[in-house]
Structure formats: structure tokens, C-alpha cells
Chains A and B, each alone.
Chain A
Amino acid sequence: MEAVTDVLDPDRELAERFRGGERAAFDQLVRRHQQGVWRLVRRYVKREADAADVTQLVFVRAFKGLGAFRGASSVRSWLFRIAINCSLSWLRDHRREQPTEIDDDAISEPAVAPGKLAAGEEGVRLRAAIAQLPPKQKLVLELRVFDDLSFKEVAELADCSENTAKVNFHYAVKKLRDILGGSHG
């Protein structure tokens, strides 16, 4: 199974090259994953400037730790694990500073066309429903749907078995349908 992971993980070679002293390999990893890491971080850290800071921190930690990375998981899920840890740590340190109701960035968003307004409202409803999910279901759902991780990777990040990840995903989707009512049935 490990061998299959090695073959399937396109980042493994970059990690090896980095360990061999090639700094450019790390830059390539950054280019490949900065977007995914930022999106994950942004779900925890609501201010964009803070999310950028945390994203930077994630890669600095990855730079320090990549030499010791032995490939028990994929490089991407390893990076995402660092991102989750950094985000939670940042939230602990800045609990009082987090915006609670209205995001400053949301106020400055450009006006949307009337046609897109309905979709925008639907998105807000959907996000509000996701926020109501139990933490584990929410984590599994977001990692699966927004970060496009395999159930194996989701399980690694959620500290559960692959089957548990699948079951949590099922209940998350079911609960969302229940919360949103008939419009999604």
C-alpha cells in the first residue's frame, strides 16, 4: 500500500530533491500547494491578511521539517496537517481578535450582478449550514469537498479510519440536506 502511495504522490520526488539540497524543489512545492493551504487556512482564519501570515508560517515550518519527512503520508496531507495545526494555534492565540459577525472583507466585496445574487445567497445559506455541523463531520466534509482529498488523506488528517471518514461524510451530507430542507431534497 505504501508503494502505491509513493507512486501516486507526485510531490514525493520534489521532497527527495529538496532533501538532496535542491532549494528550487521546495519553491515548486510552494507553487503547487500555496493555494490549497491558503484555502484551508482561510476557513479557520477569517481575516485575509492573517490567513496570508499563517500560510507563510505553514511553509516556513514545512521548510524546517521537510528534511525529516519520511513519507508516512502524502506530502500534501502532511502540509495540510501543518496548516490545520498552525491555524488552530493561531486561533488560540488570537481568540478575541477574530471577527464574529460581519467580515470586513465581505463589506468591501464588489457588488454582484442581480443574476448572481441568488447564487450568492444560496452560498451564504450553505456555509451557515456547514457551520452547524459537528466538528468532525465538518472537517471531513470540507477536506473532501473543498480540498479534494482522498478518503485516505481525509482519514489521516481527521485521525480516524478510512471507513469512519466515509461514514462521517455521509452524515454530514445528510445533515446538510436536513438543515437546508426541501430546496435541496
Chain B
Amino acid sequence: MAEQHEQEIDELLAAYLDGVSELTPEERKRVEARLSELDVEGTRGMIDQLRALPPEGREPDWRAMEKRIAAAVDEVRVPWWRRWFVPVGALVMTAAAAMLWIHHTPDPEAAQPAPHVAMTKAVDAAVPVPAAQATEVWLDGQLVDVSDVDEDAVLGDLDAPDTLTADDDDGLLPTLHWVDNLDDRALDRAEHILEKKKS
């Protein structure tokens, strides 16, 4: 136990000799109590000899070294405008792309009406409007006011025959409205002919 205690103190001896102030008061007290038993002068002499050793090699020209370091640092030093170049450039490019996207909408005809009207319509579309007030409709790229239209004239058309499908000779399917004019006899005859063709 005593030996371990002595060893702990011995371990602080060199530090004590080289810098008393760096030891805690307790460490200092313990070392000083042990000093008389140790070869203090030998240790001190060793440290002094080490400190007296000249530096290894020949020291360079410090002025030249300083200039050399300054030049090397200047190479890696980035000017302020280059430091901001990339982020600001990216911001400008993004803003330009956003402006282009806004001004070049896909349907140029849709942009024909006056901006004021278009804006009004956009706002109207967002806000629910009572059906009675909805008198304007957007048809084929144009704003149409339907408040003055005669309802009978428009709705009357719904009861009329679909002339578009019946009389449209330009349609993909052949017009077959003549079938409705056939009498029972003609139909029987037609069925008979078809039966014959099958057999």
C-alpha cells in the first residue's frame, strides 16, 4: 500500500519539476514531501538537456515560408462574389423559369379575354354562387351571356327529333331511317331472304 502511494507521487515528479504551478495543491504537497527521498537533480538535469537540444534540421527562411503560405492561402481563398455566384445564380434561374411558366400557359386562346374578366371568372368559380345569378357561361373560349336567351326556344329543341344523328350523311354509320317505313310484308320478305342466305 505504501509502495503504491510512493509510485503515485513519483509519477508526478517530472511534471512537478517542469511546472509546479500546473499541479494541484494536493499533488504539490505530496510530491514535495517525497522530494528528499528522490534523485531530483538527475531528473531535472535530464529535462534541461532535452530542452537544450537544437531543433532537428535546418530551419527554413521564415519570411519566404510566410509568403509561400500566404500565396497558397490566396489560391484557396474565394472572392465574395464567387461565394454568392452559385446560390444567387440558382435563385435567378428558378425565378426566370417560374416567370416563363406563368406567362406561357398551354392554351394561348384561353388567354384572349380581357384579364379583368378572366380574373373575375376565376374568383366566381371559387365562390359558390346562387343558380339564379349564374347568367354567364364560358363556351368555346368565349364568355356568353345567357340571361337574355328564350328558354322555350332552347328547351323546345330537346323534344325535336335528333336530326343530327338521323340525317347526318357524313357520319360513320350508314343512315337507316328508311327501315322504319317498311310494312310487315316487306319485313317478312326480308327475313325470308336472310334465312335463305344463311342455309
Contacts and interface: CB of A to CB of B under 8 A. Distances in A.
Interface of A: 23, 26-27, 30-31, 34-35, 38-39, 42-43, 46, 48, 51-52, 55-56, 59-60, 63-64, 103, 105, 109, 122-123, 126-127, 130, 141, 144-146, 150-152, 166-167, 169-174, 176-177, 180, 184-185
A7 B53 CA distance: 31
Given A52-B65, A141-B50, A167 B43 contact: no
Given A48-B57, A176-B46, A169 B73 contact: no
B76 A48 contact: no
Given A123-B53, A151-B22, 13 more contacts: A31-B62, A63-B77, A126-B53, A145-B47, A146-B53, A151-B15, A169-B18, A170-B12, A173-B43, A174-B43, A176-B50, A177-B42, A184-B46
Measured as residues with beta carbon below 8 angstroms from the partner, the interface class of chain B is 35 or more
B53 A59 contact: no
Contacts of B55: 39, 42, 146
Contact of A34 (B10, B47, B62): B62
Given A166-B11, A167-B11, A185-B42, A126 B49 contact: yes
Nearest to B16: A166
Interface in B44-64: 45-47, 49-51, 53-60, 62
Contacts of A122: 49
A145 B51 contact: yes
A38 B68 CA distance: 13
A7 B103 CA distance: 61
A169 to B, nearest CB: 5
B50 A150 contact: no
Query: From DSSP, what is the main secondary structure of chain B's interface residues?
Result: helix
Interface string B17-57: 01100110000000000000001001101110111011111
A181 to B, nearest CB: 12
B64 to A, nearest CB: 9
Interface of B: 10-15, 18-19, 22-23, 39, 42-43, 45-47, 49-51, 53-60, 62, 65-66, 68-70, 72-73, 76-77
B13 A170 contact: yes
B180 to A, nearest CB: 91
A60 B68 CA distance: 11
A33 B55 CA distance: 15
B54 A123 contact: yes
A154 B15 CA distance: 12
A126 B46 CA distance: 10
B45 A43 contact: no
B47 to A, nearest CB: 6
Nearest to A39: B55
A103 B58 CA distance: 12
Contacts of B42: 177, 184-185
B58 A166 contact: no
A60 B58 CA distance: 23
A63 B76 contact: yes
Given A151-B19, A151-B22, A184-B42, A60 B72 contact: yes
Given A34-B62, A48-B60, A185-B39, A59 B54 contact: no
A52 B22 contact: no
17 contacts: A38-B60, A43-B56, A56-B69, A56-B72, A59-B72, A60-B69, A109-B58, A123-B53, A127-B56, A144-B18, A145-B51, A170-B10, A170-B14, A173-B47, A176-B46, A177-B43, A184-B46
